[in-house]
Amino acid sequence: MSSTLKSLRALSSPPRLRLICLLLKSELSVRELTDITGMRQSGISMHLSQLQEAELVESSRDGKNAYYSVVQAQQSDNCALIDLAVAGASELVEYESDLRNLKRILELRENQDLVYFNRLAGRFDSVYGPGRSWQAFGQLLLRLIPEIVVADLGSGEGLLSELLARKCKKVIAVDNSDQIVKFGKAKAKKNSLTNLEFRQGDLQSPPIDDNSVDLAILSQALHHAENPVAAIEQSFRIIKPGGQIMILDLMKHKFDKAKELFGDRWLGFDEGELYQWLESAGFRKIDVSVVAREEEEPYFETLLASAIRPA
């Protein structure tokens, strides 16, 4: 079979067009391609094998990882085919999300802090050490927090708010439940936390002045919001220029009972969604990654998203 015919057959599949388009922009691993496209790892491996057989894609190794890229020394016929493949990929509905996710993955490569943290967390319970605990580490890290103004949006009863108030200049806890706000106020008074203020309000319109907080936190709150995009946009409004947003929420899942059991409106979010919403709201220096995985069904995963409002 001629190389041209092999190339045509290899490029006859939309998933392979997506892969070619991505690999033209950057050398990527199978795992990274899985995160970007949402396709199954086995499917990506199969498509890459076919592209390699057609001599359109090549691989190289870096330690245990294999990275794929488009073959650079292309024959003129293949160059024309690659150009057509990119044009075809740009017409696919996944094209824009693929590019957003590629940008996110490449930025994540540059920030290895979370990668190291995940490795550390995986080793934490494997070897016993007297007095070593997450509680102790938490208290240590809490003392590193500067004296800033924090908005805890969707605070619930305010456990996180209470912890932060012991160090921060001021914490504003916002929840839409009148009863929870009353409970939080009473508990803050009991604990003499005069810098912790509870306010009743909605995530989509928090009762906080523009440009007034250094940090806005949405901890497992966004999946309860009627309009997550509006909640992120409102967070941008209340954050000072140079301030930060941090979101802890569930990775997209298929546990439908969460809506009935926990009152969830959304079954989590994927990394690309959060990245896009934060970017559209005006945030920059965005990082979104999985920071925790439960070991029991339904195996919930937790995403941590952080971003800066430009100064």
pLDDT of 263 > 70? The answer is yes
* R_g (Cα) of the chain, nearest Å: 23
Half-sphere exposure of 96 (CA within 13 A, CB side): 4
Which DSSP helix (H) or strand (E) runs through 121? helix 113-124
* pLDDT for the residue 145: 86
pLDDT of 7 > 90? The answer is no
* pLDDT for the residue 61: 85
CA 301 to chain CA centroid, Å, is: 11
Q: Does domain 114-144+202-308 have CATH number 3.40.190.10?
A: no
Give the global pTM: 0.71
Sole residue written with tokens 């024309």: 80
pLDDT of 284 > 60? The answer is yes
Q: Does domain 3-110 have CATH number 1.10.260.40?
A: no
CA 224 to chain CA centroid, Å, is: 17
Q: What is the mean pLDDT of residues 191-214?
A: 96
Q: How does pLDDT run across 90-139, given as a tens digit for each residue?
A: 999 999 999 999 998 888 776 655 555 555 555 555 565 677 676 787 77
Residues contacting residue 235 through CB under 8 Å, at least 6 positions apart: 151, 153, 206, 216, 218, 245, 281
Q: How does pLDDT run across 233-250, given as a tens digit for each residue?
A: 999 999 999 999 999 999
Q: What is the CB neighbour count within 10 angstroms for residue 48?
A: 21
Q: What is the CB neighbour count within 10 angstroms for residue 132?
A: 12
Q: What is the mean pLDDT of residues 268-282?
A: 94
Helix axes 95-110, 14-25, angle to 10 degrees: 40
Instruction: Work out the mean pLDDT of the chain and round it to a whole number.
Output: 88
| Domain residue ranges in the chain | 3-110, 114-144+202-308
* pLDDT for the residue 122: 54
